[in-house]
Amino acid sequence: ISDLMEDLWGVAVAVFQVWMFVVVFLIMLPAMFGLSLGVTGVYIQVLVKILEWATLRIQRGRQEESSVPVPLPNGIIERAGGSMEEEMGQPRSSRSLVGGEFALSDALYFYKKGLESIVDDQVTQRFSSEELASWNLLTRTNHNFRYISLRLTVIWGLGVFVRYCVLFPLRITLAIIGLSWLVIGTVLVGFLPESSVKNWLSELVHLTCYRICARGLSATIHYHNRYVIPYHNRYVIPYHNSTLCRPQVGQIHGGLMGVMQRSMVRSCPHVWFERSEMKDRHAVTNRLKAHIAAKTKLPILIFPEGTCINNTSVMMFKKGSFEIGGTIYPVTIKYDPQFGDAFWNSSKYNMVSYLLRMMTSWAIVVNVWYLPPMTIQDGEDAAQFANRVKSAIAQQGGLLDLAWDGGLKRGKVKDSYKEEQQKMYSSIIVGQNSSSTEEQ
């Protein structure tokens, strides 16, 4: 028995040594110096070939078996797409209405819009995982596709083994190392006096730890237009779901996230707010103005949506971020959903559950576009400026440009939205009234 235990111990030590060699010399050290051995690129190419083969096999299975499920279309219903005036004006113009007269047929427009919202709401569907056109061999998009053929079942089983028995422990190891170094490094840098050396060391610590964590997630990031990256006295506006090596604005958290926030703020001027303070727009604006006024500080990273979106659209930007002046550098971030779901539904999953889903996905593949700087124009208010920046971000990433407030994720529709619809309908009636008067 003792000989068997010694043999097992020797095997365990050998496996641990190989494991640490892979982690330290093949992943961590190249990541720290910004180098790549090309392993992730080959891994992504192999994944693409496997997923393409699985898609073709599923399509063939649909032709052979009627029981194979068909993916749902992107839209459950077909919307008219016209404005209230266009959809309501034609029925009203076909009748000779007295100015200001209400037509019973007008109610059909609101009835139709209400049913469309119930069946296919444009807001709530932005807070669920994006539907894929084909199965990516992950559990979240599995509709019993793995039973189509024996080979597909074997590939799916091997994928489960690789993701949970190889990638998951490797990613946990790298995450622990990266986050530990981030906390320790930022705390140590925080003891240094304010200077250019401190800023350089802070960025080095942040960047090194982010690289280690990114390698742990098999992240492949494609940057575009990097020549427009700002360096001082600017602020960056990406749409949510991103992390850059810049001072950030966000809500104070507890637990592990709180420990990281408190350590990071010692070395870099992040702006953290209490939840109650975030509701005070003037307090937020004043703190942001103070940061922008400091000429030597790094650009600050702002998420003007205030919530996470599922990578299909861009929702309303809070205008407070656009009232402080200065130059804005918009950033568009678009994830490839076939390799993994980067969306975090915080109302359904906690941070630990979300990280487990991320660490057991295939990879994180993302494109990042740095857009040309934008400033507020003459005669343009903060809301119009915010919409212009939002439209530029949506257009670059091929995302839907929605006017809805992301706060509807947890709240009720504001009375102002209802009043806006009422005013639009009233203007239509007034317009009919004016036309009738002119004809008389």
Per-residue pLDDT tens digits for 112-132: 777 777 666 667 777 777 767
Q: d(Cα 302, Cα 249) in Å, to the nearest integer?
A: 6
Residue in the block written with tokens 């650009």: 299
pLDDT in tens, 243-284: 445 666 666 666 777 777 777 777 776 777 665 555 566 776
Residue in the block written with tokens 């109302």: 347
pLDDT of 133 reads: 66
Domain regions of the chain by residue span: 134-409, 413-440
The percentage of the chain sitting over the pLDDT mark of 90, rounded to a whole number, equals: 6
pLDDT in tens, 366-380: 999 989 988 888 888
pLDDT in tens, 219-252: 888 888 877 776 554 555 555 444 445 666 666 6
pLDDT in tens, 201-216: 888 888 888 888 888 8
Antiparallel, parallel or unpaired: β 400-401 and 271-273: unpaired
pLDDT of 65 reads: 65
pLDDT of 115 reads: 73
Say whether pLDDT at 43 is over 70. yes
pLDDT in tens, 271-322: 776 655 555 667 767 777 777 777 667 777 788 887 778 888 888 888 877 8
Confidence of residue 434 (pLDDT cuts 50, 70, 90): very low
pLDDT of 279 reads: 57
Residue type at 410 in one-letter notation: R
